[in-house]
Structure 1
């Protein structure tokens, strides 16, 4: 059924109360690969409730609400889930994420772009608790076969091409059951668990959630570039350029194009570095205030 663009864009914002506690945080951390080695103090800060630090990517699943799901469930949007792909995710953190939270999240479908062979649904969301804004996010969701309705094409959304050799390359192995574990945080899309559904969507087998890869990359940035300080991540803009499969190894190439900025290119090592995602990550300085300054920058 075609997207009713007028109805979708005139529907207005939707608000939902979201709550979470340390169990939800720990489950998310396990879902993006935290906890190995299990007794490593650097990993225990993500898995042990007595010393828990909340990784920034948790905002994409906190309370079970997800931007992409808001897009495909908006009034006037009635599409085949097998035609849906998460195209990009932007997350800005206004304050450190608490171990337990109670927020009101308000989401709005702000645009429907016509890419010819596909439509792109854009959803923006704001989450705030009693102390004020906590995070802002935006998702771009591709719906194959729903373009060609004569709408505006919209921006390309492509990140600038990386320049120079990577400053750091790290590898992050994925468990064979990584998608099954990650989906316990609320993303029940059958594309990530059901082989028959994955084949109908055009994939040989279930693929990993894009936001799981997104979380893996943000954790790698915190661990390698921020000395474990989760509060130093201010923003992450990512474009999903391919897919990863559970059991593969994500190869993350970091570049430092400017003080306080990381560029990440993520590929699947076992598939000749097939692209998975590209991201720009904005960092604050140590302690979570002011722009970061990498070694060699400035004076």
Structure 2
């Protein structure tokens, strides 16, 4: 079964409503590594409700999502060959520490890279605070459907990745991950057994369960928030990046950052394997 472009563009996404509590916000924060240093007072407000509590901004990526809709055979997509290629967040307001939020996903574009080259599916959703009607964030995602090129769709133009400066980074931040990091992060809404079951991971070609890509995104967001914002969440305006390689829980993630005015460019690598895992990153600061 091949991609039906018109059907995909008009995919009937339902509005999703999700209520999260301060406890859920803490679980997310712990899942992306906040609180690793228990005496770091900058991290305390994200993991201790009696502090001046605030939600981690990157938690927006796990709220009111559409679920694994690509697994529906009516999409025409071979879900076994899909990869999460890119992710973006634009914040309109700081996330409440607890709230009921709603969102409806939409397909923005589908590009045909050609037979044997796959397809790119661009999706978006606006996260809205149900109580106030305020738009909190806009989430954008690019899915690389490796097995679904050649359906006759448009081939471009394809957005170009953010270019990193060719100079030494302005700041470097090393953040370790715990061996159980994926088991903790999955409690925030991604129960894919690839991140928990060694047998499933082995069948997929990995030596052990891997860390969620969106968890690695949260760790890079932490690095920027720590290095340039002094943990002031109101200063983050947008973030976008490309996923390039998986992380194994227990590895150390080094984020290299370049600041040019209100823009921070970044990439993240695993120190133990000297492997870039996030690339072409860009954060806008306010």
Distance in 1 between residues matched to 2:272 and 2:261, nearest whole Å: 32
CA shift in 2, pair 1:119/1:200, >3 Å: farther
After TM superposition, the score normalised by the length of structure 1 is 0.86
The correspondence for 1:237, drawn from 229, 240, 252, is 240
- In structure 1, the gaps of 5 or more residues are 285-299
The correspondence for 2:225, drawn from 222, 227, 233, is 222
Alignment of structure 1 residues 102-113 onto 2, 5 Å: 102-113=100-111
In terms of mean alpha carbon deviation, does 258-267 or 200-209 score higher?
A: 200-209
| Displacement after TM superposition at 1:114 (Å) | 1.8
How many aligned positions are there?
280
CA shift in 2, pair 1:186/1:76, >3 Å: same
CA shift in 2, pair 1:198/1:79, >3 Å: farther
Distance in 2 between residues matched to 1:76 and 1:23, nearest whole Å: 37
The correspondence for 2:191, drawn from 150, 174, 188, is 188
| Displacement after TM superposition at 1:126 (Å) | 0.8
Distance in 2 between residues matched to 1:105 and 1:156, nearest whole Å: 25
Alignment of structure 1 residues 1-299 onto 2, 5 Å: 1-51=1-51, 52-62=53-63, 65-66=64-65, 69=67, 72=70, 76-77=74-75, 79-116=77-114, 117-129=117-129, 130-154=132-156, 155-256=158-259, 258-284=260-286
Distance in 1 between residues matched to 2:112 and 2:284, nearest whole Å: 30
The alignment yields a C-alpha RMSD, in angstroms, of 2.0
Q: Is the Cα contact below 8 Å between 1:83 and 1:144 reproduced in 2?
A: yes
| Displacement after TM superposition at 1:79 (Å) | 4.3
| Displacement after TM superposition at 1:13 (Å) | 4.8
Distance in 1 between residues matched to 2:79 and 2:277, nearest whole Å: 23
Distance in 1 between residues matched to 2:28 and 2:261, nearest whole Å: 30
Secondary structure in structure 2 of the residue aligned to 1:76 = helix
Q: Is the Cα contact below 8 Å between 2:78 and 2:148 reproduced in 1?
A: no
